[in-house]
A and B are shown apart, each in its own frame.
Chain A
């Protein structure tokens, strides 16, 4: 049985049909590729958002850890010297300050230096050079001040979390000092609290 020979015209038509099919397939592939690219970009943007949110959440957790640690350590400090050390640690390590003083208010309104970092009697009672002065509140009265004179060189300025720490110090430090003073007095009287 003889085989029918395809004419040149028929071959051309068949090839054109094949090309059309390939073209349609190519268009479909291109369309799919574009759709995939869009999905990939959307997912990449989503991932970036997640990473940013995670970083922000971790930063916030870090800030909350600072606040919680500050409150806990102030309340756990038993004696006045422990409270003063804790205040210095909070200001030095958590805020990033290298010169600071803790002052008590005298009855005449003056300030007496209780403790500090990198300060001496010259700083006593002078707040003029302080970057920030945190009032120590007790029962509605200002009973002292924490003055920050110099931040660490790498610390560009005060941040919102620092102001939250100042708030913690303002409300908890004076109370912690007061309670530690009472405890010390009780101990000196032979009373165990």
Chain B
């Protein structure tokens, strides 16, 4: 079975490195973007099975990028897990209004990350 592809969008190189180590170790193929605009371009070109989207990013925030992807026919069904710094209900409400499927709070726990990814990708 071909491995599922996940797009990691985060402006923090350290966070990208950690997420890459955890998910690559679990057999996922990974793409990375360091801002919201790059995430949109990569998602459109590569059609990943899932996107892990940080909220605070340059050029386009995670909220803006997710909203944009949801409006495009080709990308509207790609599941998005938002990675949030703040866990307040107001922020989570915005996450869901943008169309994200789930969220993870920082600091990201490796086991929680894998469980959420598996629950969406079903493997």
A58 touching B106, Cβ below 8 Å: no
- Complexed CA–CA distance, A62 and B117 (Å): 14
With A62-B113, A70-B14, A89-B13: A94-B21 Cβ-Cβ less than 8 Å: no
A62 touching B87, Cβ below 8 Å: no
Partner of B107, one of A58, A72, A73, A155: A155
Q: A65-B22, A92-B85, A152-B105 are in contact. List 11 more A-B contacts (CB 8 A).
A: A58-B110, A59-B110, A61-B25, A62-B109, A63-B110, A65-B17, A69-B21, A73-B14, A95-B107, A152-B107, A155-B107
Residue on A with the closest CB to B25? A61
8 Å CB interface, B35-93 against A: 85-88
* B1 part of interface (Cβ distance < 8 Å): no
Which A residues form the contact surface with B (CB < 8 A)? 55, 58-59, 61-63, 65-66, 68-70, 72-73, 86, 89-90, 92-96, 98, 152-155
* B18 part of interface (Cβ distance < 8 Å): yes
- B18 → chain A, closest Cβ, in Å? 4
Most buried by B among A68, A90, A93, A94: A93
- A81 → chain B, closest Cβ, in Å? 14
Majority secondary structure, B binding face: helix
A69 touching B110, Cβ below 8 Å: no
A65 touching B110, Cβ below 8 Å: yes
- Complexed CA–CA distance, A89 and B14 (Å): 6
B13 touching A68, Cβ below 8 Å: no
A69 touching B18, Cβ below 8 Å: yes
- B55 → chain A, closest Cβ, in Å? 12
Residue on A with the closest CB to B84? A154
Chain B residues with CB below 8 A from A70, complex form: 14
Partner of A94, one of B13, B18, B25, B113: B18
With A62-B109, A62-B113: A93-B15 Cβ-Cβ less than 8 Å: yes
Chain B residues with CB below 8 A from A55, complex form: 111
- A154 → chain B, closest Cβ, in Å? 4
- B22 → chain A, closest Cβ, in Å? 5
A62 touching B22, Cβ below 8 Å: yes
Chain A residues with CB below 8 A from B18, complex form: 62, 65-66, 69, 93-94
